[in-house]
Amino acid sequence: MRISKFEHYSRNIIVLVVLTFFLLPIVWLLTTAFKLPRDLITVPPVWLGFTPSLVNFDFAINKVNALRFISNSVIISGGTTIASLVLGTLGGYAVARSRLKIVSISSYFFLVLLMIPPVAMLVPFYLLMRDLQLLGTHAAVIILSTCYNAPFVVWLMSRYFASVPAELEEAALVDGTSPFGAFLRVMLPLSIPGLVAAALYCIIFSWNDFIFALLLTNPATKTIPLGIMATFSVSNLSWGNMAALSVFAVLPVLIIAVVLNKYFVQGMTAGATKG
């Protein structure tokens, strides 16, 4: 399809405008984190001509104990991701390969689960955790997060597995491996991109979660989003401090998503094109 030079250049310009729209808030966040309080409220807004300072990060780490928030987030995200991957991949394989009616019905059950708003489950789950005396623990958040993540992993991995021809496992079965062995030795190695994408999804979902942590943690187990809210509403509304904490919240996931972008995209769309 021949595109005129004019079209080519105007397309690139539009793309740059769109990119600016999507990246401006992020640039704002990053620059604000390094700004001194006096630079925050300058009008007109200053994008580049300010003296950078680490005073906000110092506040975050020393006054607000950001490192504790980060470790809590890491524990909860890690736990959720591992649990969701294990449960979800096993289940996804079953959904993809089984011909039993029960299995396809349960895949719809998982889809229904994805529809439930977290708020609906939150109140009774809170009471359940309170009665089990698990309120305020990492485990409580991990359990609830996994309950929401694992069905999505099942959905994702089942579409991915379904796109791999079954002959490969059939061949392995003929050669004498057990069905589970065929899964471990044939399917899993082939599915690394899908697994990476599912893991990425779980990490992002649980790292960014707010409402589960809001309800189920106590001050010792607060995650980063809660830490941000806590500083925001209690102490002086310093956008600089908020931005510094947010950088901790954003940077790890951002790096992963950009570096592993290929897997991210692949995973999100795995099987989506099969319709």
Partner 1 sequence: MSQVVLSQPQVKTARRRINNRERTLLLMLAPIVLFVAAVSLYPLLNAFALSLTEYKLTDPNQTRTFIGFQNYIDAFNDPAVTETLLNTGVFVVGSVVSQVLLGMALAVLMSAESRFMRIVRGLAVIPMAIPPLVVGLVWKALLNGDFGPVAYYLKLIGINPPRGFLGELNLALPTIILIDLWQWTPLLMVIFLAGLKSLPTEINEAAYVDGASRWQAFTRITLPMLAPIIFIGVLLRTMNAFKIFDVIYVSTGGGPGNATAVLNFYIYKVGLTFFDMGYAAALANILLVMIGVCCAVYIILLERQKNSNS
Residue ranges in 117-156 that form contacts with partner 1 under rule CB under 8 A: 117-125, 127-128, 143-144, 146-147, 150-151, 154
116 binds partner 1 (CB under 8 A): yes
What is the spatial distance between Cα 183 and Cα 160, in angstroms, rounded to a whole number?
A: 13
Among 51, 102, 133, 236, binds partner 1 (CB under 8 A): 102
Single-letter amino acid, residue 199: A
Q: Kindly state whether residue 194 participates in binding partner 1, applying the rule CB under 8 A.
A: no
CB of 195 to partner 1, least distance (A): 15
CB proximity list for 56: less than 8 A, separation 6 or greater:
33, 34, 35, 238, 240, 241, 243, 244
Q: In angstroms, give the least distance from the CB of 58 to partner 1.
A: 20
Shortest Cβ 20–partner 1 spacing (Å):
11
Residue 33 binds to partner 1 (criterion: CB under 8 A): no
User: Exposed, middle or buried, 258 (CB in 10 Å: 0-12/13-18/19+)?
Assistant: exposed
Decide: 194 and 258 in contact? Cβ < 8 Å: no
Among the residue ranges 48-56, 57-65, 189-197, 207-215, the one whose residues contact partner 1 (CB under 8 A): 207-215
Q: What radius of gyration do the chain's Cα atoms show?
A: 23
Rounded CA separation 141/147 (Å): 10
Structure tokens, 191:
């599915």
Is residue 235 a contact residue for partner 1 (CB under 8 A)? no
Count each helix (H run) and each strand (E run) in the chain, helices first: 15, 0
Please say whether the beta carbons of 119 and 211 come within 8 A: yes
At closest approach, how far in Å is the CB of 181 from partner 1? 9
Site for partner 1 in 34-93 (CB under 8 A): 40-45, 86-88, 90-91, 93
Task: Indicate which single residue of 34, 57, 69, 239 sits in contact with partner 1 (rule: CB under 8 A).
Answer: 239
Q: 163-174: string of b/e by CB count within 10 Å (b at 16+)?
A: ebeeeebeebee
Among 9, 13, 23, 52, binds partner 1 (CB under 8 A): 23
| 250 touches partner 1 by CB under 8 A | yes
Closest to partner 1 by CB, 53 vs 106, is 106
Q: Which one among 193, 208, 230, 238 touches partner 1, defined by CB under 8 A?
A: 208
Which residues, 6+ apart, have CB-to-CB distance to 123 below 8 Å? none
Is the CB of 21 or the CB of 189 nearer to partner 1?
Answer: 21
